[in-house]
Amino acid sequence: MAKCFDGNTVSGYCVSVDMKNLPTQKVPVGSLPDYLRTLGTACRFISMETEVEVDCRKTNNPFVGATKRSRRNGLVNINYLDGIIRRMKEAGIQEPTYTPGKIWYIHEHDPNGNALALCQSKKDSTKKYLQYFPFRSYNNTYYHNGIQLTDKEVEILKTFINQPASVKPFKRSVITFSMDSILKVTFRNINTEVLNLDKLFR
């Protein structure tokens, strides 16, 4: 079986892509909103280092305010709605329709009205976010008050972590990160004629 990007298989669909040979663009986080506007709707493979506060219960939790640092990769500018409709058709649903639920953010748009990977809070337009479709998260480390937690402390912390909601049928995971939570980011150009993104993101 061929390898997908970093050696992982994704939903049973694989392609041979040597990521090291793809054109890359390291983007300073402070310039990320402008870069996403310039990028428009072009699909890119993205690698990030992020730090986010851990979503966990506070009662009796000795590590309230702990943060998680991770390396992540995935894609930006995938057509989310088209993917849902396609999976509905494959499941035998005739003339499928999908009504998006309420979300707390809105997309910025290009001059033609197409949604960008750059989002902003509905309550505060100055708060910008990156939307991306994850492949994986790895090299996770946890910190509390700036000090890295030991393996034993991480196990204790995990007993307080809220379990993420399950992804509903026909949908796939999509994540938004605030600009403040992105430590490093690199974009890689990809040949969408070679890489069958529709199949990859079933």
| Full-model pTM | 0.79
How close are the terminal C-alpha atoms of the chain, in Å?
A: 18
Confidence category of residue 51, pLDDT binned at 50, 70, 90? very high
Q: What is the pLDDT of residues 1-49, one digit of tens each?
A: 222 333 333 333 333 445 556 678 999 999 999 999 999 999 999 999 9
More confidently predicted of 102 and 197 = 102
* β-bridge mates for residue 52, sequence order: 68
SS3 50: strand
Give me the torsion for CA of 93, 101, 174, 147, rounded to 10°. -150
For residue 14, the number of C-alpha atoms closer than 13 Å in the C-beta half-sphere is 11
The one-character DSSP state at 20 is G
Q: What is the DSSP letter of 4?
A: B
Q: Which helix (H) or strand (E) holds 129?
A: strand 128-144
Q: Would you state the pLDDT for residue 137? A: 93
* pLDDT tens for each residue of 103-120: 999 999 999 999 999 999
* DSSP string over 45-98: EEEEEEEEE--B--TT-TTTT-EEEEEEEEEES--HHHHHHHHHHHTT-SS---
**Is pLDDT at 191 greater than 60 in this prediction?**
no
- DSSP output for 164-198: PPPPPTT----EEEEGGGEEEEEEEE--TTTS-HH
